[in-house]
Amino acid sequence: MTYLVGYGPRNDDRSAVELACQLARSEPRPVQVVSVVPQGWSTPAASGTDREYESWAAHEGETAAAQAREELARHSSVDGSASWASGRSVPQVLMDEAARQDAWMLVVGSSEEAAAGRIRLSSKTDRLVHSASIPVAVAPRGYRSSAAVTRVTVGFRDDDAGWSLLDRVAELCRRIDARVRLVTFVVAPARRPVTTPVSHVETQVIELWKGRAGTALDLAQDHLRRRGFAEDRIEQRLVEGGDWERAIGALDWTDGDVLVVGSSSTHPVARVFLGSSAARILRNAPVPTVIVPGTGGAS
């Protein structure tokens, strides 16, 4: 099983390769980097223009693969290789490669429009995320790290899918000896003036929900203890904020942190559905984020 990295030709951001190598240092598996170039149109008799186009695409693929190999060489402890493929659809080619190589995880970078240190999906990676049957790890723009994964933060929600996600993350943390941080986000707009009659009702609802969320976090922590996690390897946080940026920013984030959120399985053709909470977490996450399909952990 491999980490399969989607790497764009002429890419000026090596964040996906960096993240894949970080993951491989934590959970050793080969890293396979694949660059996808456009495929020419098949014609009974290829014209000179067609042949020139195919030659150009092959050159782009070779150039990208060579660049990826140079970047892999920075991580001598990682078993890495790079290649290129042609196809009409970048997401489809990567999914086909993932199936062929029995990939454990897909790793991609952020869009060129993303701010430094932030995550933003391009149109291609967005389609890839929504077609994935395996976890997809997304690196922030310009991501660099020499550390292994030391702490995994789980966006936890008290439902069947949330508990399933927790068990999957717990198994991963056990293998890589990482700490677990359970987090439930409470994102509520600023309260209305006390003269507004609905304000008190809203406050009561939020406080009731916070109480239930806190109880669920306690149960989740007990669940991890029963699975053999020591007390100092688990932490929990109920984080409040007036918006998602403030809520996520209220947590401390350090080198070696990875965030995990669950998605909802909605249809065999689109196996990953990012609900509103998961999508907002992804946009505001300051660390690499892994989206696990079919869990529905954040919606």
Give the pLDDT of residue 188. Answer: 74
Give the pLDDT of residue 129. Answer: 84
pLDDT surpassing 70 at residue 192: no
The pLDDT tens digits of the residues spanning 240-252 come to 888 999 999 999 9
Round the average pLDDT of the chain to a whole number and report it.
86
Give the pLDDT of residue 248. Answer: 95
Of 29-38, 123-132, 166-175, 184-193, the range with the lowest mean pLDDT is: 184-193
Name the band, by pLDDT with cuts 50, 70 and 90, for residue 298. very low
Domains and CATH numbers, the chain: 3-138 (3.40.50.620), 151-292 (3.40.50.620)
Give the pLDDT of residue 271. Answer: 42
The pLDDT tens digits of the residues spanning 198-222 come to 566 777 778 888 899 999 999 999 9
pLDDT surpassing 80 at residue 139: yes
pTM of the model: 0.87
State the DSSP string of the chain.
--EEEE--TT-S--HHHHHHHHHHHHS---EEEEEEEEPPPP-SS--HHHHHHHHHHHHHHHHHHHHHHHHHTT-TTS-EEEEEEEES-HHHHHHHHHHHTT-SEEEE---TTSPTT-----HHHHHHHTT-SS-EEEPPTT----SPP-EEEEE--SSHHHHHHHHHHHHHHHHHT-EEEEEEEEE-PPPPPTTSHHHHHHHHHHHHHHHHHHHHHHHHHHHHHHTT--GGGEEEEEEEESSHHHHHHTS---TTEEEEEE-B--BTTB--B--HHHHHHHHH-SS-EEEETT-----
The pLDDT tens digits of the residues spanning 22-68 come to 999 999 999 999 999 988 665 555 556 677 888 888 999 999 999 99
Name the band, by pLDDT with cuts 50, 70 and 90, for residue 109. very high
More confident residue, 145 or 294: 145
pLDDT surpassing 50 at residue 272: no
